[in-house]
Amino acid sequence: MSHSNETDAFSADLVSGLAAFDSKNFSMAYQLLAPLAIQGDAESLWRLGMMQMNGLGMVENQPLGFENFMKAAEQGHAFAHHMIAVAYMTGEGVEKNIAKAIEWFEKAADYGLQGAMYALGMLYEDGKEVEKDLEKTQYWYDQAAKVGV
């Protein structure tokens, strides 16, 4: 019997934690989501990562935020893949590495994330971080357009 109660409590905390996060009550979100993140809940890990990366309701800790994104990504959390790519692109919480950024944007694109597709298109179009490649630019913008339909 006790197990279903635990599951209910977990769900309630998750729902409340996400609501607190969405209403920008980050200290409350942290209190509710941190224990769930420790239990390995991907959505909680990802939200915690966002708070740590951006110093929301806490002191900024980008390396820890990056770590939590990695844990969420291991569980197939799509947006975590995108944020890992952004971290590699900007060098926030991890050493800047454009090749790895592209790799993670591609993984995020596999989940159908339009933002990741646009990011790839822009990187190849821009040609500052990576060799300009207009075929790849076109490919990724086309992929993004398909998702948008």
User: What pLDDT digit, counting tens, does each position of 119-137 carry?
Assistant: 999 999 999 999 999 999 9
- pLDDT confidence tier of residue 3, bands split at 50, 70 and 90: low
- Tens of pLDDT, residue by residue over 87-127, are 999 999 999 999 999 999 999 999 999 999 999 999 999 99
Q: What is the pLDDT of residue 7?
A: 82
Indicate if the pLDDT at residue 143 is higher than 80. yes
- Tens of pLDDT, residue by residue over 45-81, are 999 999 999 999 999 999 999 999 999 999 999 999 9
CB-neighbour burial class of residue 97 (10 A; exposed 0-12, middle 13-18, buried 19+): middle
Q: Which CATH superfamily is domain 2-111 in?
A: Tetratricopeptide repeat domain (1.25.40.10)
Indicate if the pLDDT at residue 1 is higher than 70. no
Q: What is the pLDDT of residue 10?
A: 86
What is the rounded CA–CA span in Å between residue 11 and residue 100?
34
Q: State pTM to two decimals.
A: 0.91
Task: Write out the two tokens for 63.
Answer: 């390396």
Q: Would you kindly state where each structural domain of the chain is located, as residue ranges? A: 2-111
Indicate if the pLDDT at residue 6 is higher than 90. no
Task: Write out the two tokens for 49.
Answer: 């990562």
**In which residue are the tokens 């207009």 written?**
134
